[in-house]
Amino acid sequence: MALTESKIKDLEDKAFEELYDNNEEEWMETTENAFVAAKDWICGGKRPRPDDVLKMLLPMLEPNEKIRRHQEAVRARFKHYREAFGEYLVDKYFIANPEDE
């Protein structure tokens, strides 16, 4: 998982930053829960990589009504909408917590 400049532009076009900013505390808490779960269940207590965190995060995002409403509001119909938002959250989390153990 890596956010390229092109992918970031695509995310900005779908107002991901707005969705993130309006609920930043909730998103960081959810992503931290995924980080801890990946650390415990996938990585044997070692610091997980972003893709490991994403594996744990996606099922947490799937039922989220805020994401569903936002997706509808911006008419985001592409197949991997939640996965792209999950990548966005993981990127934000790792930037904010570069040495999180």
Please give the full DSSP string across 38-75, using - where no structure is assigned.
HHHHTSTTSPPPHHHHHHHHHHHHTT-HHHHHHHHHTT
Token duo for residue 29: 């808490």
Render pLDDT for 33-56 as a digit per residue (tens, 0 to 9).
999 999 999 999 999 999 999 999
Q: Where are the domains of the chain?
A: 5-96
Q: Are 30 and 66 in contact (CB under 8 A)?
A: no
Render pLDDT for 68-99 as a digit per residue (tens, 0 to 9).
888 888 887 666 788 888 999 999 999 998 87
Q: What is the reported pLDDT for 57? A: 97
Whether residue 58 is predicted with pLDDT greater than 80 in this model: the reply is yes
Look at the alpha carbons of 80, 25, 51, 8 in this order and tell me if their dihedral is positive or negative.
positive
Distance CA 20, CA 62 (A): 16
